[in-house]
Structure 1
Amino acid sequence: MSQLLAKNGDIVHLADLKHLTVSAASAERPVTVHAVVTYADRDWGLLFVQDESAAAYVDFHNIDIQLKPGDVVDISGVSGAGGYAPQIDRPRIRFVRRGALPVPIEMNLFQRNMADADSSWCHLRGVVHTAREVDGRTILELGVGTSDVSITLPVPIHGEQLLDREVSATGVFGVVFNDRRQAIGHQIFVPSPQFLKVMDSPTAQPDPVTIISLQRYSPSTDERHSVTINGTVVLKSDENTIFIQDSTAGIQVRSAGPLNVADGDRVSVRGFATNGEYAPLLQHSIIISDARGKLPDPYSITAKSALDGHYDSEYVSMRANLTAVRSSPNGTLLVLNDNGTLFEAFGPASDTLNSLLPGSELEIRGICRVQVDRTRYSVGGFNLLFDSGRSVYTRAAIFSTGKAQGTAF
């Protein structure tokens, strides 16, 4: 253990707390630290403090003291394992005086050691993708390079006015983690609007572009900001996700909330391009339905042409022989064979599809999804997504009850 332990055995520097193992932190080691408050939210039980050695979270539930950023405090408590990093539990907090906030570290999500930065006072810039209010607080989603960062402010700020604006945020860096103590994302707790600054001027909604042009080389395009595309909905895969298609290509679109659109609708989409499995997709999108319509005719393709990659996210029709059916409460998986090439088609649960037997000749209409071999960065396979049994047609179906010809489910 570090020489920075006090003679009575208390941990007196946050760096020593943060270097405890899970088992050591769970042993409730005495902690006595002198630190500055960087973020406090009594209702959510959040308190972050920082000394000259490190920063840490303090369990602030049921603590009757008003604190604000810059307060210097003495804290006595015990170590706890926390959900991600060691923290201070059962604290007794004494206000000492007003002080100064630490110099923020510059966050670089590509190069920064996330464990080292956990709970630290930091500075970060990004473009606002979404804004919402939760329990009187403002939650902004920022695009920072290829990463997303959640920004939390303890007050409402009309965040919708910041959409697609570049902002500079100063606050406490937090790691989003799962129940296995594994980091799965990033967030920043910003104490007040004064620590959030707009860095650019508002811009008009961009002119529509074609799907095929997204993320192609263009020295005049700022890819951090939103794009607008127009197209036809060809599949709704869940309440927040659709696939749309224009005359040049297809694309997956993820919205910021539930969607009220149907297959065939003509829509206008404003969203943020990011990397998909094979081709770009749009996330944090706003979708406006312009008119009702009908599905376009699908491209008739083979497994061989699907493996070329040209039909990724497009509405296609494929014929193949059924090899197997696998069902679950979440849906139906068809294993298919087209002249020796095996592929899978996923759709909703269907008793009729489940009753098909191997050898049935089927035509499936749905979205072609290309899968990438990451070792070679080339097309490694594909599958189809369909949204109802009506997308599956039989050319020579074999059922467990007999044989039928030319059936549409």
Structure 2
Amino acid sequence: MLRLLSFLLLAWTPLVSTAAEGPWIKAIDLRSLTPEEADEARPYRLRGTFIYHDNNNAIFLQDETAGALFWYKGILDPPLIPGDIVEVSGVTKAGLYVPGLEKVSFRVTGHGPLPEPIEVTYDDLISGRFHYQWVTGEGVVRSTSTSDTGRTFIRLAMGSRIVEIHLDDYPEAQSLIDHRIRVTGLASGGINDRYQLNQPYIWPRNAFGIRILDKPTPVADLETVPASTLLTFRPTARTGHRVKVSGTTLASFPDGRLFIRDGKQALAVKQSAPVMLTPGESITVLGFPEMEGFSATLDDAEITGHEPGPPPEPVSTDLSSLDDGSLNHELVTFSATVADSFRTQTGASVLLQNPDTAVTLILPAAADIPAPGTRLRITGICDVETSRAAAYTVRPDSIAIHAR
């Protein structure tokens, strides 16, 4: 009995003892401190359930009121186990987004169940109110990628917005594209230099934090749909999942943007892993329909087949005819006079103008800048950048031409 008691006392000995003990505080009280108050290094003690440990010395606890964190740069030996009840003593620090404790001493006083995860939406996560708490949510996997260090990133569509899922060593993630999943983990996110939450994340501890809820239609069983039907009214439309579209390549850009023509309808495609194509190539592409700017696009797209073809003919038009948006994403050709031009960080911007219409021509970095008054023959992709609503219709507000 004496040997067992000695072991328990050793296990509960503080790992570090650098801070004076202060009064007990709840997690909600700690995270409610202003940055200025937190940077006063106020001494506090906190008790909570261990839920997560990141790779940057942050340890996350949760009590009955909220989540909290403290920083510890030592080696956890033995490591904390999810569900451990931890008592920590330290001084406050503002942190990147949520106040926490530093210069800590802590001990494990017992073990219990993990907190029940809080059901969240994108709006819940971007609000920050559940930041650093154990949460769960569901959505459709849009794309995946893996860093050089083996870190896996999953882009999850929760409604119409994207939440990033970060976890280590999950090579099977690619097979989850277009699946509806439930993910359980720590609510976190990317913080800018103004202490604002810019992009919400969920950090599962491992792959067991991801559960498949619904599988998509097998790619081989997907029917090719006309580009002209994307996001048009369909009483029984299946939304939120990939569709298959085919067409002729009009232009391809290094950033992954791709423009195709399917019959008389042009379509913008944004690839998740950019592949450069040659104009005229006939392609089949899978992607998620999104309304962007003025008309439907395919996002997080993947090319599943392509073969050579003759170069596409541009649609001959004039500056005024671009104004109704009917040629959005189309390869067009027309003549216009330069009103103004200037160099930008990525190339050149040329203003083309007549009494009724103004269009911006975007040129690549290596292009010469034409002087005002120059008459040009232009061939490029028409892109409605912004639009405005008027009663039941939407009209283009600003139009750009991207030179191929």
1:216-231 mapped onto 2 (5 Å cutoff)? 216-231=232-247
Q: Where does residue 160 of structure 1 map in the other structure?
A: 174
| Contact 2:170–2:207 (Cα < 8 Å) also in 1 | no
Q: Which runs of 5+ in 2 are unaligned?
A: 1-19
Q: Where does residue 62 of structure 2 map in the other structure?
A: 50
Between the aligned partners of 2:233 and 2:257, the Cα distance in structure 1 is 27
1:186 to 200, 206, 210: 200
Note the C-alpha offset of 1:339.
Answer: 4.5
Between the aligned partners of 1:148 and 1:191, the Cα distance in structure 2 is 20
| Range moving further from structure 2, 13-22 or 82-91 | 82-91
Between the aligned partners of 1:320 and 1:125, the Cα distance in structure 2 is 50
Note the C-alpha offset of 1:289.
Answer: 4.6
SS across alignment from 2:320: helix
1:284 to 290, 296, 300: 300
1:384-403 mapped onto 2 (5 Å cutoff)? 384-387=401-404
Change (3 A) 1:87 1:257: farther
Q: Where does residue 3 of structure 1 map in the other structure?
A: none
* Identical counterparts, % of pairs: 27
Between the aligned partners of 2:396 and 2:132, the Cα distance in structure 1 is 41
| Range moving further from structure 2, 120-129 or 65-74 | 65-74
Between the aligned partners of 1:197 and 1:159, the Cα distance in structure 2 is 12
Between the aligned partners of 2:389 and 2:33, the Cα distance in structure 1 is 38
Matched, 1:378 2:395: yes
Q: Where does residue 327 of structure 1 map in the other structure?
A: 343
Note the C-alpha offset of 1:329.
Answer: 4.3
Note the C-alpha offset of 1:168.
Answer: 0.9
Between the aligned partners of 1:269 and 1:287, the Cα distance in structure 2 is 4
1:33 to 34, 37, 46: 46
| Contact 1:302–1:338 (Cα < 8 Å) also in 2 | no
Q: Where does residue 98 of structure 1 map in the other structure?
A: 111
Between the aligned partners of 1:51 and 1:194, the Cα distance in structure 2 is 23
Q: Where does residue 262 of structure 1 map in the other structure?
A: 278
Change (3 A) 1:295 1:61: farther
| Contact 2:359–2:400 (Cα < 8 Å) also in 1 | yes
Change (3 A) 1:262 1:59: farther
Note the C-alpha offset of 1:308.
Answer: 0.9
Q: TM-score, with normalisation over the residues of structure 2?
A: 0.86
Q: Where does residue 405 of structure 1 map in the other structure?
A: none
Aligned pair count reads: 378
Matched, 1:247 2:260: no
| Contact 2:52–2:205 (Cα < 8 Å) also in 1 | yes
1:318 to 334, 341, 346: 334
Note the C-alpha offset of 1:31.
Answer: 3.1
SS across alignment from 1:142: strand
Change (3 A) 1:310 1:33: same
SS across alignment from 1:293: coil
Change (3 A) 1:263 1:61: farther
SS across alignment from 2:253: strand
Note the C-alpha offset of 1:33.
Answer: 0.8
Residue identity matched to 1:338:
N
Between the aligned partners of 2:340 and 2:366, the Cα distance in structure 1 is 14
Matched, 1:176 2:190: yes
Residue identity matched to 1:53:
T
Q: TM-score, with normalisation over the residues of structure 1?
A: 0.85
Q: Where does residue 16 of structure 1 map in the other structure?
A: 29
| Contact 2:283–2:306 (Cα < 8 Å) also in 1 | yes
| Range moving further from structure 2, 7-16 or 190-199 | 7-16
Q: Where does residue 407 of structure 1 map in the other structure?
A: none
SS across alignment from 1:191: coil
2:143 to 130, 142, 148: 130
Between the aligned partners of 1:371 and 1:15, the Cα distance in structure 2 is 43
Residue identity matched to 1:67:
L
Q: Which runs of 5+ in 1 are unaligned?
A: 1-6, 388-409
Deviations 1:18-67 (A, max 9, x none): 111122222222232111122223x4434322111111333354443412
| Contact 2:294–2:387 (Cα < 8 Å) also in 1 | no
What is the RMSD computed on CA atoms of the aligned residues?
2.3
Between the aligned partners of 2:73 and 2:281, the Cα distance in structure 1 is 49
Between the aligned partners of 1:294 and 1:56, the Cα distance in structure 2 is 61
Q: Where does residue 88 of structure 1 map in the other structure?
A: 101
| Range moving further from structure 2, 190-199 or 107-116 | 107-116
| Contact 2:190–2:199 (Cα < 8 Å) also in 1 | yes
Note the C-alpha offset of 1:219.
Answer: 3.3
| Contact 1:127–1:142 (Cα < 8 Å) also in 2 | yes
SS across alignment from 1:117: coil
Between the aligned partners of 2:69 and 2:395, the Cα distance in structure 1 is 44
Change (3 A) 1:198 1:331: same
Between the aligned partners of 1:125 and 1:280, the Cα distance in structure 2 is 25
| Contact 1:131–1:159 (Cα < 8 Å) also in 2 | yes
Matched, 1:211 2:227: yes
